[in-house]
Amino acid sequence: MSILNILRYPDPRLHKIAKPVNAFDARLAKLVDDMAETMYEAPGVGLAATQVDVHEQVIVIDVTETKEGLTAFINPEIIWTSEDRQVYDEGCLSVPGVYDGVERPSRVKVRAFDVKGEQFELEADGLLAVCIQHEMDHLVGKVFVEYLSPLKRNRIKTKMIKEERGIARDKALQGRRY
């Protein structure tokens, strides 16, 4: 397994729309394993393939404390949402250190395939429902900050760009020999 590079907002690749998975093979299984390892290492509770620059409809989620509840959702589709909504403070591995309230349906039902190509349905509420919706947004090129006001979004974008410049500068300085 490998740790994958997570794209950081506002990287334009985060806005690419993912294509459906057609082959349930060893390559897909390795991608899911690598994504899970990357998510746990980050640490996070969900990761979409889009975030690691693979534009296929694949997400991994584990909202358990024990890290024993990993679920892979291949070609997921939400087939039902509740009318009642909730605001949840969301964060994102592609927008590190930023959390803000996003309103979403409080319960969802999702249909997807597992890594072996077996179809399943899952009804979720609470953090799992939020996570499913958040990660599925990535598959259509949407980052959670797009639910925020333009002012907040621009502040976050500026912050992320400044941080990225600082990281690049630090890496360049580390490469110098004195």
Q: Check the annotation: does 55 bind a ligand.
A: no
CATH of the domain at 17: 3.90.45.10
Q: Is residue 156 part of a domain?
A: no
Q: Check the annotation: does 92 bind a ligand.
A: yes
Q: Is residue 118 part of a domain?
A: yes
Mean pLDDT of 109-134: 98
77 belongs to the catalytic site: no
- For residue 26, the model assigns a pLDDT of 98
Q: Is 98 helix (H, G, I), strand (E, B) or coil?
A: strand
Mean pLDDT of 131-142: 98
Angle at 94 between CA 92 and CA 95, to 5 degrees: 65
Distance CA 152, CA 131 (A): 21
Mean pLDDT of 6-30: 98
Q: Is residue 57 part of a domain?
A: yes
Q: How confident is the model at residue 177 (pLDDT cuts 50, 70, 90)?
A: low
Q: How many domains does the chain have?
A: 1
Q: Is residue 3 part of a domain?
A: no
Could you list the residue range(s) of the whole structural domain that residue 124 is in?
Answer: 12-148
Q: Is residue 62 part of a domain?
A: yes
Q: What is the pTM assigned to this prediction? A: 0.92
Cα distances from 102 to residues 19, 27, 86, 99, in angstroms, run 26, 34, 8, 9
41, 77, 123, 135: the active-site residue: 135
**Structure letter (DSSP) for residue 18:** P
Angle at 176 between CA 174 and CA 178, to 5 degrees: 115
Q: For the segment 45-97, what is each residue's pLDDT rounded down to a tens digit? A: 999 999 999 999 999 999 999 999 999 999 999 999 999 999 999 999 999 99
